Amino acid sequence: MKKLLLCVATIGLLSVHAESAKAQPATVNTTISLQIPELLFIDVTSSALSLPTPDFAEFDASYTGTATHSVLHRGNVDHTITVAPAPGVTIWNGPAGSSKAAGDLEWSTASGTWNSVTDAVNVGTGVKGGFGLNPDIPVSWRSLVGYDELSGNYSIVVTYTATPN
């Protein structure tokens, strides 16, 4: 009987000891990093814009008719949009080696004020946010024309730039 009692006591002690030997919860902290860059997007609704062919009335007025496209922009920073001739461009390329001064090209926004495209000029501004917060900016274009210009096709490249404020 002593042996049976000793055996039951030993089993009882082992079961109590087994429950107290369970693993305890372990924790660890970790740091998650995220680098958010400054992002800007700019595009135009038409990358190849053609001014209307001038008629006598437009030659007499010294200006072509207008053509318009819109500047689309968004970003996660406030920004300014400028337009200027592409780097190194000072003239319109014309037929047979002829040219026109870049300053003959003018642009206007909804304000109605016409500006020469010779220098980088502010077309508009944008705020942090998507298209909903940054409405498209309509830009109209026209050119000076004169009876002394050689007939043919002329072209010039202009560049819109979005710059963080």
Q: What is the helix (H) or strand (E) element at residue 2, kind and residue range?
A: helix 2-20
Digits of tens for pLDDT over the chain (165 positions)?
555 544 455 555 555 555 678 999 999 999 999 999 999 999 999 999 999 999 999 999 999 999 999 999 999 999 999 999 998 888 898 888 788 999 999 999 988 899 999 878 899 999 998 888 999 999 999 999 999 999 999 999 999 999 999
Report pTM.
0.78
DSSP code at position 95: G
Q: Where are the domains of the chain?
A: 40-164
Q: Shortest CA distance to 145 belongs to which of 33, 61, 29, 70?
A: 61
CATH topology of domain 40-164: Immunoglobulin-like (2.60.40)
Which burial class, exposed, middle or buried, applies to 42 when counting CB atoms under 10 A from its CB (0-12, 13-18, 19+)? middle
